């Protein structure tokens, strides 16, 4: 599975406006709704906030991968959104630093394997400091998409 198989270009936000965890999650959910308008916005927010209560999905190095599972999704259907915050957002990250790069992943409730593989692929992509820098420096949907596409092809 490639990330661009589940990340449509229109679900990329090159300049997040939110300044809080909740505001950023709302923006990322709205990006998902562009692709999947049938999703229940409030239910998805509740699932994501519940996951955040278990522990922040801010993994450090300016990265957060908020994720959750919805029973409304078809089997094997993952959906992904990406957002970038130039100023950074306090996401209660493990390293205490602001988050600049966000991947929001939503999976079907009973598909743990594919969900974990997607999380691992995102984490592997973002573990690479030059990739993080290129994503941080990208300013448009097209530029961000191109960075992810190039890295996706290299896996």
Residues classed as catalytic: 67
CB 144 within 8 A of CB 138: yes
**Distances in Å between the alpha carbon of 71 and those of 62, 76, 78, 85, 107?**
30, 12, 12, 30, 8
CB 134 within 8 A of CB 147: yes
Closest among 90, 85, 99 to 144, alpha carbons compared:
85
Closest among 88, 82, 86 to 21, alpha carbons compared:
88
Classify residue 6 as exposed, middle or buried by CB count within 10 Å of its CB (0-12, 13-18, 19+).
buried
């Amino acid at each position: 599975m490639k990330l661009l198989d589940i990340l449509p270009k229109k679900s990329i936000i090159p300049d997040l406006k939110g300044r809080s965890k909740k505001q950023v999650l709302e923006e990322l959910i709205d990006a998902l709704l562009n692709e999947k308008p049938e999703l229940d916005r409030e239910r998805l927010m509740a699932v994501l906030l519940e996951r955040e209560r278990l522990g922040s999905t801010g993994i450090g190095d300016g990265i957060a991968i908020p994720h959750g599972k919805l029973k409304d999704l078809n089997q094997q259907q993952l959906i992904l959104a990406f957002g970038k915050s130039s100023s950074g957002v306090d996401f209660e990250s493990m390293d205490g630093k602001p988050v600049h790069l966000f991947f929001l992943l939503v999976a079907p409730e009973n598909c743990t394997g594919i969900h974990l593989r997607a999380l691992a692929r995102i984490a592997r992509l973002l573990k690479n400091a030059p990739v993080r820098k290129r994503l941080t420096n990208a300013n448009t949907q097209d530029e961000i998409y191109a960075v992810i596409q190039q890295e996706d092809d290299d896996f």
